[in-house]
Amino acid sequence: MLLIDKLRLQKDLTNTEKRIADYILRNLTTIPAINVADLAKDTYTSHSSVIRLAKKMGYEGFRDFRVAVSEVAHSELYRSNPVDANFPFLQQDSTKEIAKKIADLTINTVQRTYAQLDDTVLDETANLLAKAERIFLFAQGDSQIRARSFQNKLVKINKFLIIADEYADEDWNAASLTSKDCAIFITYRARVPQYERMLKHFMNENISSILLTGNSRSNLIPLATQSLVFTQEEMDFLKVSTFSSQVAFEYILDTLFSLLYAKEFQRNLADLKQKNEWIETGILSDKPITD
């Protein structure tokens, strides 16, 4: 979870620590130049309270915490105009304004997701997909559309993905996986009891699994072999559409495809040229063949 989200969420913070967090959020641009004593004085707290907050946010001390806040302040200052992920436009907005807000929301979502990525987790996730004989992808609703896009891309590198939820066959598909396969679950809320049962089964059978979710508190996370968690400012229900979450899923899947492609870049490139030749001018072409 991003530092700014932890400061806003204020989970497990005392009232004193909440007061410090609120002050930091209101004064992001000035915090990088402040010291512990001044921050404690400005918030009517103590030196030890500031240090405790820094440690609860995941930092060794105030210095590391202040550096992280500086990075947050910089990103907030130079990012695209902030947009409400749930209602990104208003009734009175012009066509141009709506187009600009959707562009800003897309940019902000990708940047926010990128900031939460872990190189090691990404590499290990790509490795699971690379060595899998078969890939089964479990997703419903809008997320299944993202799954189909990913499926289409993987064909280009001879990886064939099965949409497991299609035709209500998800249970049969789940029962068909072996330790040579890999399952991917795409769910923003990650509160699907059926997926929990499947992940427990995969864990028992030593079957690799990957979870993509926006819910950092989901009980599915510890059940998956690898979890890619990227929180957004999107509500579960009260929203115009799933703009932000689906942009995030598309970006992560595109990144995973790119990592897979890069592992065998020259071979994939040669394969691409060969297939393109067959389709454009060879036996698979619809152009008449001349002697």
**Band of residue 185 on the pLDDT scale cut at 50, 70, 90:** very high
Examine residue 291 and state whether it is found in any structural domain, yes or no. Answer: no
CATH number at residue 70: 1.10.10.10
Alpha-carbon separation of residue 259 from 57, 90, 154 (angstroms):
31, 38, 11
Strand 182-186 relative to strand 208-213: parallel, antiparallel, unpaired?
parallel
Tell whether 123 and 235 lie within a shared domain. yes
Q: What local confidence, expressed as pLDDT, does residue 218 receive?
A: 93
| DSSP type of residue 32 | G
Half-sphere exposure in the Cβ direction for 43 (13 Å, CA): 28
User: For the chain, how long is the longest CA-to-CA vector?
Assistant: 89
Domain coverage including residue 51 = 3-78
- pTM of the full structure: 0.76
Statement to judge: residues 73 and 119 lie in one domain = no
Note whether residue 147 is domain-resident: yes
Q: Domain check: are 162 and 214 in the same one?
A: yes
- Same domain (yes/no): 130, 230: yes
Question: pLDDT digits over 218-263, tens only?
Answer: 999 999 999 999 888 777 777 888 888 999 999 999 999 999 999 9
The string of pLDDT tens digits covering residues 7-58 is 888 888 999 999 999 999 888 878 877 889 999 999 999 999 999 999 999 9
User: What does the alpha-carbon distance between residue 201 and residue 194 come to, in Å, rounded to a whole number?
Assistant: 11
Task: Give the three-class secondary structure for 87.
Answer: coil
- E strands present in 125-214: 135-139, 161-163, 182-186, 208-213
What phi and psi values does residue 261 have, to the nearest 5 degrees? Answer: -60, -45
Judge whether 126 and 252 are in contact, CB under 8 Å. no
Q: Is residue 233 part of a domain?
A: yes
Give the DSSP letter of residue 196.
Answer: H
Task: Give yes or no: residues 139 and 24 share one domain.
Answer: no
On the question of pLDDT at 1 being above 90, the answer is no
Q: Is 120 inside a domain boundary? A: yes
Structural domain ending residue among the three candidates 78, 100, 123: 78
**pLDDT value at residue 288:** 60
Residue 152 and residue 58 in one domain: no
Residue 228's H or E segment, with its range, is strand 226-229
Number of folded domains in the chain? 2
Note whether 40 and 66 are within 8 A (CB).
no
Residue where a domain terminates, one of 56, 78, 100: 78
C-beta separation of 183 from 170 below 8 A: no
Q: In the structure, what pLDDT confidence band is assigned to residue 6 with cuts at 50, 70 and 90?
A: confident
For residues 124-130, give the mean pLDDT. 97
- 126 and 243 housed in the same domain: yes
Q: Is residue 212 part of a domain?
A: yes
In a 3-state reduction of DSSP, which class is residue 67?
helix
Structure tokens given for 5: 């989200």
92 lies in some domain: no
In a domain, 218, yes or no: yes
Type of residue at 57: M
Q: Which two tokens stand for residue 134?
A: 């078969």
Strand, helix or coil at 227? strand
Q: Quick one: 73 and 121 in the same domain?
A: no
- Same domain as 72, residue 24: yes
Q: Answer whether 118's CB lies under 8 Å from 230's CB.
A: no
Q: pLDDT at residue 291 above 80?
A: no
Distance CA 169, CA 178 (A): 17
Q: What is the pLDDT of residue 234?
A: 78
For residue 198, give the CATH number of its domain: 3.40.50.10490
Residue 57 has φ and ψ, to the nearest 5°, of: -80, -5
Q: Is residue 290 part of a domain?
A: no
136 and 16 both lie in a single domain:
no
User: Are both 124 and 237 inside the same structural domain?
Assistant: yes
pLDDT at 257: 97
Answer yes or no: do 192 and 264 share one domain: yes
Q: How far apart are CA 279 and CA 272, in angstroms?
A: 11
Token code pair at residue 228:
């890619």
